[in-house]
């Protein structure tokens, strides 16, 4: 027996912004799971900005997607057949074979989770990669310490919204930037940031200086470019930036000339440090211990933008890169 | 009783390149040292590029020099009268009241050194601020560890030549860049770097890639701009840059657009960290313990340009900014 299902393949490498024709929806037949394997019916898949980099044919921290092959990425699903020890039919698991409705994979590559009454999609968001990214970036990469003033760009996004809230949970003053008036209101009213601004309203440097008159100590960077330049200007001595992503550059076809104030790093003893969440996987226990209770009692809020149907995943991804999401973007399958 | 002596004062704030008329040589009478103070006869004083910044009336990491007041800076001298515990007549001390022939200061602001047969001027160079900058930058800022391949820009300069040699002393592969064929030959033949190139011969990124085919792990940055961009491209995973200075920017009239590859910091988990040597003063004991024996037996070489007489200190400083020195510039008093 085999399982008829569907997957999304990379039809062409995008130049600049991806187009729908760069993707292809394909019918496939999955074999039954072999020894130590499971068959999973995916219930949610993740679309994430980092996937754009993998669509280019360049060496990076994750290998590029292959033309004509299925894409992959975070997904959560339900086990429907199992030959793997410790995994039974009905278990909810997190794994890396998204962009498809079903997946067959080794049981050791699927992590069983206890949904605790939450939507399984939470394990792609606040208790998944974005949550861990926010947590490890703040604590381990930026070295957050008492009294730090924190600036978060992409503050309404999946990672930024959590970075800001985790900092607030720990008593910090938090400033955010986002790309619309609605997002700014959400960041202040719903997420509890102290200050926020719409970066499209004017120069980021000026808006950040106004929002943080005493300067900033930590910058959680999801945007790069002009935002990073503004943060460098706003840093107090010994400022630290955790460089999580640079969405301002992802679709760029020319190198971004900003930041142009790198010399400031010397006098202010500033540290800029790039990181990749997969290096910090051991922190997931600490994330769940600290953040799950705060989610349960409402101190930490998270939003999702949910699109429906595998056939709409490419557009969801394109829209994500345009900033159309509020919070974590997922596709319900 | 008092001590008749001479000092150099700032007569006018330089506009652009300093001129002799911006300085004034003045006869003064120093009081006898009070409680806990010492009187020092200076034997050498330092002239350093950072002093030019202090001649402007702008806030920086060190306060500006005051018009009509004596300049200051690193000096080494001999105690000629002492009311300070632990300091006796004849002791050699390092302190910050240069630009004068004698100084009275609190004993706690003078650090006694053992010349170990070296010229006292060594404590203004290889065993002084430039040496400490190289040492702390490599070890504490860049976190040098076994097996790291090290790239040093400004490799023929006072700091760069020591950074490269300290890394060689510890067994690292070291690549340097400098601005002339003569300097490149000096860096390889006299200082023992493994590779070096003249950055004026072609794109730094291409020359560095050729000199370091397996990539670099640590970059000691004295130059910034295109050099920093090249280092980011050449970095292996977890590369670390100690940002000491960015001389490529000092004369710039427009912000330097490089590096344009900041996004690479994320994927390669790169750390860029600016630093100022004064934060690392506690490391001077370790510098002397490790480096003084290597200077004594010739494993570490350093050059000096020595001018004579306090009256010639302003011209020495002007010439330093024009690049007339080879190695550390000092004035013998």
A61 and B224: CB-CB below 8 Å? no
pLDDT in tens, A85-128: 999 999 999 999 999 999 999 999 999 988 877 889 989 999 99
**Closest residue of chain B to A244, computed from CA coordinates:** B266
Interface test with A, best of B53, B243, B262 (most A CBs within 10 A): B262
CA dist B232 and A286 (Å) reads: 32
Distance between CA atoms of residues B101 and B11, nearest Å: 18
Structural domains in chain B plus CATH codes:
2-125+303-332 (3.90.180.10), 129-278 (3.40.50.720)
CA distance A267 to chain B (A): 6
Could you tell me which residues are beta bridge partners of residue B243? B221, B274
Can you give the pLDDT at residue A325? 84
Distance, in Å, from the CA atom of A49 to the CA atom of A178, rounded to the nearest integer, reads 16
At what angle are helices A284-296 and A158-169 packed, to 10 degrees?
80
- Number of other CB atoms surrounding residue B315 within 10 Å: 16
Closest CA to B250 of B52, B19, B15, B22: B52
pLDDT, average across residues A54-80: 91
The string of pLDDT tens digits covering residues A120-157 is: 998 999 999 999 999 999 999 999 999 999 999 999 98
Distance of CA B108 to the CA centre of its chain: 23
Structure confidence by residue, pLDDT tens digits, B143-189: 999 999 999 999 998 899 999 999 999 999 999 999 999 999 999 99
CB A28 within 8 A of CB A77: no
Contact B209, B234 (CB under 8 A): yes
Residues of chain A positioned with their CB less than 8 A from the CB of B268: 61, 274
Question: How many Å lie between the alpha carbon of A168 and the closest alpha carbon of chain B?
Answer: 25
Q: Is the dihedral of CA A162, A151, A252, A60 positive or negative?
A: negative
CA A299 to each of CA A124, A292, A293: distance values in angstroms, whole numbers, following the listed order? 19, 10, 9
Provide CB contacts within 8 A for B53, sequence distance 6+: B60, B62
For residue B270, which residues of chain A lie inside 8 Å, CB to CB?
Answer: 273-274
Alpha-carbon span A137 to A187, nearest angstrom: 19
Least confident of A280-284, B85-89, B279-283: A280-284
**Residue to test with chain B: of A133, A226, A259, A267, most B Cβ within 10 A:** A267
Pairwise CB contact (< 8 Å): A261 & B279: no
Using a 10 angstrom Cβ sphere, with 0-12 exposed, 13-18 middle and 19 or more buried, the burial of residue B140 is: middle
Q: Is A11 on the interface with B (CB under 8 A)?
A: no
pLDDT of residue A119: 85
Angle between helices B129-136 and B284-296 (to 10 degrees): 110
DSSP three-state, residue B233 = helix
Q: How far is B35 from chain A (nearest CA, A)?
A: 36
Task: For B206, list phi and psi in degrees, rounded to 5.
Answer: -70, -40
ipTM of this predicted structure: 0.86
Share of chain B above pLDDT 70, in %: 96
Q: What span, in angstroms and rounded, lies between the C-alpha atoms of A324 and B64?
A: 50
pTM: 0.86
Q: For the residues B240-245, what does the mean pLDDT come to?
A: 94
Q: What is the pLDDT of residue B255?
A: 66
pLDDT for A253 equals: 64
Copy the structure tokens of residue B293.
Answer: 């024996």
Distance in angstroms (rounded) separating the CA atoms of residues A79 and A18: 32
- B-chain CB neighbours of A60 within 8 Å are 267
In a 13 Å sphere around the CA of B133, the CA atoms on its Cβ side amount to 27
What are the pLDDT digits (tens) for B51-92?
998 999 887 667 899 999 999 999 999 999 999 999 999 999
Query: In whole angstroms, what is the distance from residue A74 CA to residue A27 CA?
Result: 21
A266/B274 Cβ within 8 A: yes
């Amino acid at each position: 027996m085999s399982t008829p299902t569907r997957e999304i393949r990379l039809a062409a490498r995008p130049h600049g912004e991806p187009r729908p024709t760069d993707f292809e929806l394909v019918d496939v037949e999955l074999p039954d799971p072999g020894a130590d394997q499971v068959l999973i019916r995916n219930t949610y898949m993740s679309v994430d900005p980092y996937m754009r980099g993998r669509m280019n044919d360049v060496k990076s921290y994750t290998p590029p997607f292959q033309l004509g092959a299925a894409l992959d990425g975070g997904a959560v699903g339900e086990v429907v057949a199992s030959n793997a020890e410790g995994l039974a039919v009905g278990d909810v698991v997190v794994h890396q074979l998204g962009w498809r409705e079903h997946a067959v994979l080794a049981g050791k590559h699927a992590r069983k989770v206890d949904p605790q009454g939450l939507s399984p999609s939470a394990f792609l968001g606040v208790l998944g990669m974005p949550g861990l990214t926010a947590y490890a970036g703040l604590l381990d990469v930026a070295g957050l310490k008492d009294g730090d003033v924190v600036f978060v760009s992409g503050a309404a996004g999946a990672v930024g919204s959590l970075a800001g809230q985790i900092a607030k949970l720990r008593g910090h003053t938090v400033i955010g930037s986002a790309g619309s008036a609605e997002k700014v209101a959400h960041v202040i009213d719903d997420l509890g940031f102290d200050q926020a601004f719409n970066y499209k309203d004017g120069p980021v440097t000026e808006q950040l200086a106004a929002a943080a008159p005493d300067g900033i100590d930590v910058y959680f960077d999801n945007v790069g470019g002009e935002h990073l330049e503004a943060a460098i200007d706003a840093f107090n001595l010994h400022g630290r930036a955790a460089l999580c992503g640079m969405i301002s550059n992802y679709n760029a076809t020319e190198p971004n000339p900003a930041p142009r104030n790198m010399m400031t790093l010397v006098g202010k003893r500033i540290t800029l440090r790039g990181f990749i969440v997969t290096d910090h996987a051991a922190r997931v226990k600490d994330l769940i211990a600290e953040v799950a209770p705060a989610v349960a009692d409402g101190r930490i809020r998270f939003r999702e933008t949910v699109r429906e149907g595998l056939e709409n995943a490419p557009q969801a991804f394109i829209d994500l890169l345009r900033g159309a999401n509020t919070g974590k973007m997922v596709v319900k399958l």
